[in-house]
Chain A
Amino acid sequence: MAYPLTSAAIETKLSTIGGLPHCDLLSAANPSREGKTIHYLRIHDGSGADRPSILLTGGVHAREIAPPDALLSFAEALLVAYRDGKPLRMPSWDDTAYAPALHYPAFIAMSKPDVKAVLRRLNVIVAPNVNPDGRDFALGGPTVPAPPVPPEVQAEHDFRFLWRKNRRSPPAPLGTLTAPLSTGVPVTSVSVTAASRGSLVAGLTLEVVNGATSQVAVASAPFAAGDLAIPVYSFTPSVDYGIGSAVNDAMDYGVDLNRNFDIAWAFDSYYDAAAVAYNTTFPNDSFSRVPSHQTYIGDSAASEPETQNIVSMMSDENIRYFVDVHEYGRDVLRPWAFSEDQRSDKTNSWHNKALDRPAGPGRPRRGGAYADWFPNDPGARPRLLLDKHNAIAARMAFKIKHSAGANPMAVARSTYATPTSIGYDATGCSDDFLLSTMFPPLAGPWPAPITDPEKFAFTIEVGTPAGGLVDPSDDEGGFHVLPSKYPKVEREIWAAVSAFLTKLASWAGP
């Protein structure tokens, strides 16, 4: 299959796959911000309200190019294997970047009985491209010509290929900045006529963009009437891609969908002041209320139609199992992303509103004297939920490693870690959200017994960053998995997802 697919090509492919036996083609609840229809698949051979359902999502972050393609190919291959009464088999592949080529053998992702069990016992929901606007923006930048490259072309190229968020239009300007600006002349003061957006107030440093240059100023004084009027969008610190380019102010577009779910979304209530201050110095990773930052959480929890679509899928399809596929890191992650976890003290929980600011103290950041409760009681439901999460994560990682065959280099390149989280605090994540729906309604007393069925949620980070994790020779292209490396990443996604599905089918068996 060609790689990478545009969002339109993914939609076309979904239509084709949706025509296969035992597959329903479904429309997401909402079109994307830019009006694109988003389809997904329900794979099953059977019906009934009590069938376990698993949701597989990809493309949440726009620049993470490979997972949508791989989930699509997985769905198609699973259906074809079932139709033909065959195992789900991944062919061999040789990585010719090495001399001699690094051989990855063919492997059976699912045996024939496993394929049969999965379709007869589970509903497998595949939503491969949940952020089509972002994907098209990331893939739609200019193709850079041979040198000399016009600076504005290079700037737009660099800006687009690292795009992460959806494509929500920028928030309304805070107001009109009037200043005696001219290109190259630093701004020394600004005036904001409408100084409120969310919790952001005047007095912070502002990023000022006038179309020709980007400057930084501190709000201090009004300007004289008649000065050049400029809309003000952003607070610094901000990431500024391409000074002088046509996209200079365009970072204000978009919301990070994987910070937009309703779980610890209001990070400034969940954490204490020190944790907020620490984490917001990493606005490309943790979370931010600044629209121009890559982890902008949005105006409100689940504000984005793309987020709402995933929430609706989880609800409408009665999802108990969930895998969200991202790039990069070679990790199989499980909740919580917003905190380290512990298994005994129910008081220390995101659910305990007495800890929330401003009434409560808030919670320290990761690595501090706090960890959030993860159910793991051996004697009460949900029994040993944390242990079972760890076991499934290990199972997925093992299947990936096993699929690499016997070559030590291939095995090393296919070794996934199973840490608690990606290593920094992240709020509003989809996997945390699904797990949080096990808990009683927030208005209820706490601690309170969990009565909903147990749920399982994971995030897989496939591939390595550009330049490798540690070894520069272990470079799979980072967010933009190289076409020459895509078959390896595809294999890994097939292996991990197959391992999970096979386990679930065994749980659901007679």
Chain B
Amino acid sequence: MSFSCVDVRARVPEYLDGALASAETRTFREHLFSCRECRDQVVSIEPSLLFARVSLEEVSAKDVERVLAGVKAGVALKQAERKLALGRSKRRRRVAAIASAAALAALTLVLPGSARRSDSRRPVRAAARSTAAPAPGFAPAAQTVPAGTFPADATIYDWNPGAGSQEPRVVWIVDRSLDI
């Protein structure tokens, strides 16, 4: 398909309304691009058509290579990040499971406690508690925890040692043997 200069000038309103078929639109632009007189005429009617079909800026093979290299590096980075995130999430799940188990064990052991001690907001070594001598500030737990329940280097904090049997009690166990 080809348009003469007369055809092109007659079709400007249709082109602007988007009423030309896709093949006609392409022919219209190609004519404008190659015929300076028609371009001038059409631009005097609709100045924005000055930019219709501005020649494609050639993208060199070097540019394509640069984009490809950047994309490959980006993909490698994203893959590494994904692997790292996967490992981190597995580890986080493991730590969370251990912490939950420890907290549950602590609550089970400690909630029945009713002893009141004013000077007991201190860490207690589990090893000391699990032996015959009860740990200062943690009397209720010491009575019920059998030896070997906690690792030897675990530390237990009681943040409300004076709580009565009906009062809430918060106990925090830090197990230093865990690799977190």
Q: Do A and B come from one complex?
A: no
